[in-house]
Structure 1
Amino acid sequence: MMRESIVLHLRRPCLFGILASLLLPLFVPAHVSAQDAKVQLYQSRNFQLMTDLSKDEADELLEELETMLKLVADYWGRRNRKPIRMFVFDDFDNWPQEQIAKLSPDGLRSVRTGGGLTITQVRGFVGGPKIDSNAIVYAVSDHKTPQHEAIHAYCGINFGSTGPVWYSEGMAEVGKYFRAGERGVNASENVINYLQSQEPKSLGAIVNNPLEQTGDSWQNYAWRWVLCHMLGANKNYSARFKPLGLALLADRKVSFDSVYGAQAEEIEFEYNLFLKDMEPGYRCDLCSWDWKTKFRLLSERTTAFSKIRADSGWQASKAKVFAGDTYSLKTEKEWTLSKEGPLLSAAGDENGNGQLIGIIFDDYKLSEPFEIGGNETFTVPTSGELFLRCQDKWGELADNKGVIDVRIGLIEKGERSENSR
């Protein structure tokens, strides 16, 4: 699947007029003979769709495109100014040769290889957000390629640019997975399986690789998607990601490194954790790492108190713990694993679902998770900062309810090195 976006900045009005005169008539409704009836024009508020899909399939696609466009327009804060014109192919044999002959050879080439191409013609920047531009989309009908290319077209029409490759293609992939009312991962099983079967690609290799280009491979698109999805949804980075994107779309002198350089270690840690735990429904906003809470050493006279939510990922216990020490645990209140599920204590159910579990963070590395449950005492496998959560599938946290109060105390010290005393 090759998906591409070409932005043509046309400085001569006459050339723009010639292109428009050649392309726009293709979208004007006309009499269609019985032989050509499989290719029809369908229209909605923001799209003009020429396709050989059935009417029901075309109507469904237009509805999906309109829903997606509203979400992305709300996100970027810019209403779509012009209809997005699209050629969507289900079967080339359904298209008359005389019509094929009028279309872009580059667009047809991309479609024949199983992908898509967006050609944006930018005549000029009128000033402020006003841009004189048009966009034509060529796409196969499957793999959500029309949705991906429609994001490029929206950006080209309304910003005159789609940004650098990592942002342009990453956000087009994010956009095609948008679903109204859903904030979890909606990527295909194939994409998730691929990402989790590979060594994580470094952040620099995604955002600073001059050899990568639009339309290179679906695997590269997957890495761009995972980074853009995380930055856009994670509470630690989303506030900066939207302004960064708007600056990139405006071709300003800004970069990923200039915005996030000071958070590079934190981003890499959460990026790798996202790749490890990702599954359909995973919510980056609910699983954002807590970098702000202060942890304390415990003594026989001091304890650490925390409130652990059932609907969130790893949360700070506020306790700095040491391997070999024995700790006391007191828990109060209950939680559920669904809106109408049974109330559970920190011990969870008979299968361990809903029990309290822990993990140790030390110098951007994590231990393996371990069970704590409702035990009155516990030990830890290694030293560091203790994080806690409710045991549940990562993609099913959002419907959990309740909070359990946790108080941890030190009962007995084990053997420690001198620098940990």
Structure 2
Amino acid sequence: MTFPLRTVLPFFVMIGTAGCDRNPAVAPSPPAMSQPATSQPARSPSVETVTQVDPSRPTPQPVVQKSPEPKVAEPVHRPDDDRPRHDDAALERAGIRKFESRRLVLYTDIDEARAVRLPSLVDALYDELSRYFGELPPARDGSEWQITGYVMRDTDRFTSAGLVPSNLPSFNHGLNRRRRFWMREQSLDYYLAHLLLHEATHCFMTTLPAANGPTWYMEGMAEHFAAHRMTADGALQFRILPKTPDETAGFDRVSLIRKEVDARRATSLDEVFDMRDAEFAESIPYAWSWAACHFLDAHSEYRERFHELGDPAMRSRFRREFDARFANDGPRLRVQWDHFIHTSCYGYDFERALLTLKPGQRVPDDDTHVTVAADRGWQSTGLRLEAGQRYELIATGRFSLCDVPKPWLSEAGGITIDYANGRPIGRLLAAVVADDLQAPQAYETLLDPIDVGGKGTLVAPTSGTLYLRLNDGWDRLADNQGGVTVAVRPIGD
């Protein structure tokens, strides 16, 4: 789904600055057609009135009023391109070179080998942004959308050349204003490209007037689209989860989230939504904003509704629109978000690790058999356990873990050749998610599972649905095959 991007005001909005509301012009409905008057002289019932007609005079014709022509809506255009033009020859003499592509004019003093590849990245990003947010309205003069970037090793050189406005706020990494951005050179090649794509995303998202949303969304989406990788065939992928720290060197959002969670400073979605501009002087709010945008955009239950909020017309009332669309999902969002931030890692397999909440039915007195796949995360058994009741679980079957250098065969007891999350890989684990997702410790065992193995018993810590999984790293699920069958039955006193 994409959205038509619209504008009616001839000015830009700088990132972080509130814009004026837009009132789209509406053509008025044409008025009702006037009818000709057909008045007649009044007649008395006892007196007949005779009107003499002069045959030499033309008969008067009734006057018909024409309705006004309906107004034709003015064509919608994006704001005019107000980027300054520079003396490229003079800049080159000053040590500032120009590199240009369809979507980016780049002025820089960094090494040519690093600079030459950057403009084409913005060309590919523009296509990705257009697919997600929709095409921008055309320019009045028919010109293509393009931005100008200044990537600076020596900031004084650019200031002396008149390329840094005197009223531009100071910044540590990058800053954008309408269709221009400024950024400092980064030592790591990946992060140099990442920061450039981050600022270019801001330029695209704020091309239209009044297109600013809450800071967490604008910064989170810029981080989300800037997270990229180059495939073996040279294609660019955006909105990725990094596979390794080296793949996205300098982009430390995954490790920052992990450190915050391990230090018991996990941030809820509501806390992310309430972040203010001043908090983004530090790196951690960027990490949480990126995680929130990735989670909502990647989650199969939420991505379509989250995508709808990308319409620029909604951004000024973003939180109200979000709350309306997700009004019935608050408790589920809380559980699934907490699960995501506590389990995410480099190489995280989002689709296979996805927690799908499906409430269960009471466990029959006889054995009930459920299957557990080795290549998935937590899986609902569809069985509801009663708080305090003891249950026996017996698993049968074999499955394979990993496939390099060869598959490792395992049963539900697990194999100690390797460990994940502090337990042998392949070991059967259990969790009980409370019926009331808002209850204290409603899903504690998802984060601290109950050890079951090939055969075990558990006492339900709360009344709720039983979830099972075969232990492995959250980044190593894809190459697992097979699963086990688990018999579940209540145990009497």
**Scaled by the length of structure 1, what TM-score is found?**
0.77
What one-letter code is carried by the residue in structure 1 that aligns with 2:89?
A
What one-letter code is carried by the residue in structure 2 that aligns with 1:98?
S
What one-letter code is carried by the residue in structure 2 that aligns with 1:163?
G
CA distance in 1, matches of 2:18, 2:107: 22
CA distance in 2, matches of 1:159, 1:401: 50
Match of 1:84 in 2: 147
340, 351, 356: which one pairs with 2:428?
A: 356
Change (3 A) 1:7 1:178: farther
Match of 1:164 in 2: 214
1:61 is aligned to 2:140: no
Change (3 A) 1:360 1:400: farther
130, 138, 141: which one pairs with 1:73?
A: 130
Report how far residue 404 of structure 1 moved. 1.3
220, 223, 227: which one pairs with 2:292?
A: 227
Match of 1:127 in 2: none
Contact 1:159–1:250, Cα closer than 8 Å, also in 2? no
Contact 2:239–2:294, Cα closer than 8 Å, also in 1? no
| Residue correspondence of structure 1 range 337-376 to structure 2 within 5 A | 337-338=402-403, 341-351=407-417, 352-362=424-434, 363=436, 364-367=442-445, 368-373=448-453, 375-376=454-455
5+ unaligned residues in a row in structure 2: which ranges? 1-13, 23-78, 138-143, 230-236, 243-247, 418-423, 437-441
CA distance in 2, matches of 1:301, 1:8: 63
Q: Which has a greater percent of helix?
A: 1
Match of 2:84 in 1: 24
263, 267, 286: which one pairs with 1:201?
A: 267
Change (3 A) 1:48 1:303: same
Match of 1:300 in 2: 365
| Residue correspondence of structure 1 range 247-262 to structure 2 within 5 A | 251=316, 254-262=320-328
Change (3 A) 1:207 1:46: same
Match of 2:470 in 1: 390
Match of 1:218 in 2: 283
1:104 is aligned to 2:162: no
Contact 2:431–2:467, Cα closer than 8 Å, also in 1? yes
Change (3 A) 1:221 1:97: closer
Change (3 A) 1:232 1:388: same
What one-letter code is carried by the residue in structure 1 that aligns with 2:164?
L
| Residue correspondence of structure 1 range 325-344 to structure 2 within 5 A | 325-338=390-403, 341-344=407-410
CA distance in 1, matches of 2:466, 2:307: 32
Cα deviations by residue, 1:376-405 (Å, 9 ceiling, x for unpaired)? 4433563442212231222333x3332314
Match of 1:236 in 2: 301
Change (3 A) 1:96 1:62: closer
Contact 2:401–2:426, Cα closer than 8 Å, also in 1? yes
**Scaled by the length of structure 2, what TM-score is found?**
0.67
Match of 2:173 in 1: 115
Match of 2:195 in 1: 145
Change (3 A) 1:301 1:96: closer
Change (3 A) 1:103 1:91: closer
Report how far residue 136 of structure 1 moved. 0.7
Report how far residue 152 of structure 1 moved. 0.6
Match of 2:336 in 1: 270
Match of 1:154 in 2: 204
What one-letter code is carried by the residue in structure 1 that aligns with 2:181?
V
SS of the aligned residue for 2:202 comes to: helix
Change (3 A) 1:214 1:328: closer
1:410 is aligned to 2:485: no
99, 102, 109: which one pairs with 1:42?
A: 99
SS of the aligned residue for 2:265 comes to: coil
CA distance in 2, matches of 1:402, 1:167: 38
CA distance in 2, matches of 1:396, 1:65: 32
Deviates more, 1:254-263 or 1:331-340: 331-340
What one-letter code is carried by the residue in structure 1 that aligns with 2:183?
A
Cα deviations by residue, 1:288-343 (Å, 9 ceiling, x for unpaired)? 3222x34122233251423x333322111222335562414233352323475334
CA distance in 1, matches of 2:136, 2:390: 59
SS of the aligned residue for 1:74 comes to: helix
CA distance in 2, matches of 1:52, 1:318: 61
SS of the aligned residue for 2:407 comes to: coil
Percent identity, aligned pairs only? 20
| RMSD over aligned Cα atoms | 3.3
Match of 1:128 in 2: none
User: Aligned pair count?
Assistant: 377
Cα deviations by residue, 1:176-226 (Å, 9 ceiling, x for unpaired)? 2233287435651553245323533343333246x5468544332222222
Contact 1:358–1:372, Cα closer than 8 Å, also in 2? yes
Match of 1:123 in 2: none
| Residue correspondence of structure 1 range 316-327 to structure 2 within 5 A | 316-321=380-385, 323=388, 325-327=390-392
Contact 1:169–1:214, Cα closer than 8 Å, also in 2? no
Change (3 A) 1:69 1:192: farther
What one-letter code is carried by the residue in structure 2 that aligns with 1:119?
R
